[in-house]
A and B are shown apart, each in its own frame.
Chain A
Amino acid sequence: MDEISIVGQVVGGSFGDIVIRQKSGTNLEIGDLMVSEENGSFLILQVFALEYGSQIQDKMQQMMSGVNLEQGIVDANFYEPEFVNYVLARIKPLARVYKENNDVKIPKSLPSFFNKLRLISKDDLKFLQKEKDSIFVGYIRSGSKIIKEAEVWLPAEDVFSHHVLIPATTGRGKSNLVKTILWHVLDTNKVGALVLDAHDEYFGRNGVGLKDHPRAKENMVYYTPSNPPVGANRLTINLQSIRPEHFEGIVDFSDPQFQAIRTAHRQHRANWIRELMITNVASIENSGDTRRQGEFAVGTMMVVQRKLRLILSLEVDEEQVIVSRHEVFDSTTKGLNTVDDIVRDIEQGKVVVLDTSRLGDEAELLVGNIIASKLLQKYKDAKASGELDRKPVATIVIEEAPRVIGVDVLTSRNDNIYSTIAKEGRKFKVGLTAITQLSSVIPKTILANMNTKIILGNEMKQEREAIIASASQDLSEDDKNIASLDKGEAIITSIFVPFAMPIKVPLFEDIVKNRKSTASTGKTKVF
């Protein structure tokens, strides 16, 4: 090992908490990755704590400081100060890499005592080879240093079918990360995705976005309720596509209210919402028709009507036609095939971005629910008929995930499609990509099923604890590390990576800038 590259030496500690002395002149950071060379293999270790060490007792140091401060003696140097005062770093082993075959194993032994360590370099990370059908998430990061040659690619099918959790607070680079992931998903047709874009930020209507991907025209479909840009689709869903079960676990209907909407569905089939909305409840009450009155309490019907009106933003015009204020829901002939079209696109490995920014919370989740239910059913059918292998893995990207998989939602209401997918979707190659600020309110059973977590910075201790407790690798010493993650810095913990990987997610704008420009085809022939 080159003496110049040495940053420290093992001086003590125990497994998982090794103490090294930092070489003077170097500057170790929390999260730094270092390498301890052994026979035939090397250990990758990571700094998780830094502290001072000194050969002089504390009291003497304090006295020295006093002399320095009070008597103004500025030249109070020690003889060979680099020996006397130093920094101790506490490090933990992450992985053992066998040089012969680049095999990566979980380490089970300590580095040799007094072994000298150096910072990691690109050559140590050759095992991070891009495999077929994988997605790019970022570059390996050692502290705040980025190793650009070491790209981290995750196996797409495994990662997406086993669910992805992206926990972070605002401003830590969530949407940049999601855009980066989706950008690489667009490269092939191996992953289908439904993106419920509550802030209309992924497509790039006003600025850069997924639309700038060279294959966006083939592999991405964008739906927006109003004024779609050229080539985009109008997001219109016919009320006939909605069934009572789509409200389950999303809207807080009481049992009698659910009973009422189920009865309406049984009586009027596809037109149930329309019929329910134009029923004049007051006139039934005044008519004295006891048979009709007997079906449901008038109050129940009125509440159901009010809730549907609010959730779906519906109004009844003077000709008894139902209109939705944000134009997403239609009661006439528009949008009859939207759900089928979207599901088919996802099945073909496309990324479908739905601009749900104009919808209320519940309406957005309802739209997602309708599509996700159909998608899961199709994948279940494909499994039954032996065709699942041919389908691309599908993922549903949902923001503020606790709205649907939060513990309060799941205990107070029935399961909804999102929790069903979280629990059993992976058997059918359908997964969730859940983005959240509050991991602590997602039940442990669901968190444990999310087998890949891309952890961004989080200043809330409670949230960090929830993430650490459910991580696929031991992150018990990483609390401070997570708290100190800067914008765009992340840690990937997953059953599909050999160790918890610190990464730096590149700026999406830079990715777009660096995209390969497609060669101009010249003039187009028109017949």
Chain B
Amino acid sequence: MSDIHLGFQKHESLQKIEQHVFEKIMDECISRKVDFILIPGDLFHVNIPEMRVQKFAFKKFREVYDAGIPIYVVYGSHDFSPVSNSVIDLLSEIGYITKVTRATSNENDTISLDFLIDEKTGAKIAGLSGLKVGKDREWYEKLDRGSLEAESGFKIFLFHGGVSEMKADSGMDGDHMPLSLLPKGFSYYAGGHMHKWNHQSFEGYPNVVYPGTPFAGYHADLEDNANGQRRGFALVEFDDVVKSVEFVEIQNTSYEIIEVNADNRKADSINQELVEKTKDIDPANKVVIIKVRGELTSGKTADVDISTIRDSLNERNAMVVNVSKNGLTSKEYSITEAKGNNKEEIETNVFSENIGQLRFDHAELLGDNGIKLAKKLLQELGQPILVNEKKNEYVPRIRNNALAILGLDKDDS
């Protein structure tokens, strides 16, 4: 199993699903009496998650430990700590899990990896952690591959990183490495970081497997779930070689997805379509995802009224309403880019290029006055927090200054 991202969810009902799915998988492993569990990274969403998460995770790991099932892990890009200051290390310290990265940096600037041997099965396990934006690539380039590849027996390699050859969609740009960076000739490659189930074999690399996230580690995962993405873990049977790799699906929750194409339309017609499309669905206890993308012919993107739809769905007991308007733009209010020799000049030029398309009754917001005002406001909003200033002092300070620039009172609504 991989990319569980415990602690990612912010919404209470989604937190429950996150916890439930994790516990369900662990229970499955106990009941199926697996020999060991591999977790190639991103077990937690951050290196030190909140206490609530730690509590249920420790409890479950204890149960697995008591059942005599070892868990082998590497750090993922989310839960790693360069100073071994992560919950992973805590779990490792008390023996519930085992970190498999046993690396030695050599004088000749190569990196040697030692195998860890699973007592029960004799499987030899080696692995490398994942760092953000592929910074771990250097490790692979310096890896002493000869000794790893020469080792005989049933070998497993744990890694956390996207492999270009297995990329299923074009997202996660620049975050992949070629398969050739992994050492060759292992019997099984347990991969993390790519969030969709993927099992492929290549010349010299049999069984490269990404179990994918069991629920969601990014917002886009929920959308994939709504579109039917299967979630779960991989169950592997082996003796001298891998005999089978089975994907065990774990249900998480129910979804409704509403997608609207806004190309060449006005906000009113989008609003109408949203009402139409949400009218007949039963949102009760479901994650509802609303996705509006495209380019409006006129009006502001804010004219697409999501809040009314959201309220209506919430009234009908939707578990969570997730709205994505990132892909929504408007022809009328699109920002034209402008050039300049320095930051100051670029800002002035961008405002000058774009202010003409605004239609307000307030003359002070238009023309040269508008540009001056916008620049002042931008400058104020860009002020950093002062040394020793607390956030609850910083926010009101900036807000009051911004309001003063706009000539408004705090009480003006």
Candidate in A228, A232, A233, A527 with the most chain B CB atoms within 10 angstroms:
A527
- Bound: A337/B129 CA distance, A: 25
Say if the beta carbon of B265 comes within 8 Å of chain A: no
Minimum Cβ distance to chain B for residue A482 (Å): 43
- Bound: A196/B80 CA distance, A: 40
Question: Is the CB–CB distance between A229 and B165 below 8 Å?
Answer: no
Say if the beta carbon of B286 comes within 8 Å of chain A: no
Say if the beta carbon of B361 comes within 8 Å of chain A: no
- Bound: A335/B128 CA distance, A: 25
Interface bits A515-527 vs B (CB < 8 Å: 1, else 0): 0000011111111
Question: Is the CB–CB distance between B167 and A337 below 8 Å?
Answer: yes
Q: Helix, strand, loop or mixed for chain B's interface?
A: loop
Question: Is the CB–CB distance between A233 and B105 below 8 Å?
Answer: no
Question: Is the CB–CB distance between B106 and A233 below 8 Å?
Answer: no
| CB contact under 8 A between A334 and B165, given known A520-B109, A526-B128 | yes
One of B176-184, B243-251, B367-375 at the interface: B176-184
Taking a contact as CB atoms closer than 8 A, the residue among A336, A337, A524 that contacts B109 in the complex is: A524
A481-527 residues with Cβ-Cβ distance < 8 A to B are 520-527
Question: Is the CB–CB distance between A234 and B168 below 8 Å?
Answer: no
| CB contact under 8 A between A523 and B109, given known A230-B145, A234-B179, A340-B170 | yes
Say if the beta carbon of A40 comes within 8 Å of chain B: no
Interface bits B130-149 vs A (CB < 8 Å: 1, else 0): 01000000111110010000
A274-332 residues with Cβ-Cβ distance < 8 A to B are none
Question: Is the CB–CB distance between B107 and A523 below 8 Å?
Answer: yes
- Bound: A140/B339 CA distance, A: 39
Say if the beta carbon of B269 comes within 8 Å of chain A: no
Given the complex, which residues of B lie within 8 Å of A25, measured CB to CB?
A: none
Interface residues on A, range: 20 to 34
Query: Which residue on B lies nearest to A222, using beta carbons?
Result: B178
Query: Which residue on A lies nearest to B165, using beta carbons?
Result: A234
Given the complex, which residues of B lie within 8 Å of A341, measured CB to CB?
A: 164, 167, 176
- Bound: A232/B165 CA distance, A: 11
| CB contact under 8 A between A233 and B204, given known A523-B107, A526-B101 | no
Taking a contact as CB atoms closer than 8 A, the residue among A226, A234, A334 that contacts B178 in the complex is: A234
> Using a Cβ–Cβ cut-off of 8 Å, how many residues does chain B contribute to the interface with A?
42
| CB contact under 8 A between A336 and B168, given known A524-B138, A527-B129 | yes
Minimum Cβ distance to chain A for residue B102 (Å): 9
Query: Which residue on B lies nearest to A341, using beta carbons?
Result: B164
Given the complex, which residues of B lie within 8 Å of A82, measured CB to CB?
A: none
Question: Is the CB–CB distance between A527 and B101 below 8 Å?
Answer: yes
Question: Is the CB–CB distance between A233 and B165 below 8 Å?
Answer: yes
Query: Which residue on A lies nearest to B105, using beta carbons?
Result: A523
Question: Is the CB–CB distance between A234 and B109 below 8 Å?
Answer: no
Given the complex, which residues of A lie within 8 Å of B140, measured CB to CB?
A: 231
Minimum Cβ distance to chain B for residue A349 (Å): 13
Q: Helix, strand, loop or mixed for chain A's interface?
A: loop
Query: Which residue on A lies nearest to B183, using beta carbons?
Result: A230
Taking a contact as CB atoms closer than 8 A, the residue among B80, B109, B180 that contacts A228 in the complex is: B180
Query: Which residue on B lies nearest to A385, using beta carbons?
Result: B337
Say if the beta carbon of A386 comes within 8 Å of chain B: yes
| CB contact under 8 A between A232 and B178, given known A333-B168, A526-B101 | yes
Given the complex, which residues of B lie within 8 Å of A386, measured CB to CB?
A: 336-337
Query: Which residue on B lies nearest to A525, using beta carbons?
Result: B105
Query: Which residue on B lies nearest to A339, using beta carbons?
Result: B170
Question: Is the CB–CB distance between B138 and A337 below 8 Å?
Answer: no
- Bound: A335/B173 CA distance, A: 15
Say if the beta carbon of B12 comes within 8 Å of chain A: no
Minimum Cβ distance to chain B for residue A526 (Å): 4
Question: Is the CB–CB distance between B142 and A524 below 8 Å?
Answer: yes
Interface residues of A (CB under 8 A from B): 217, 226-234, 236, 333-338, 340-341, 344, 385-387, 389, 520-527
Q: List 15 A-B contacts (CB under 8 A).
A: A228-B178, A233-B179, A337-B167, A337-B170, A338-B164, A344-B173, A344-B174, A524-B109, A524-B111, A526-B101, A526-B111, A526-B129, A526-B139, A527-B80, A527-B131
Interface residues of B (CB under 8 A from A): 75, 80-82, 84, 101, 103, 105-107, 109, 111, 128-129, 131, 138-142, 145, 164-170, 173-174, 176, 178-181, 200, 202-204, 336-337, 339
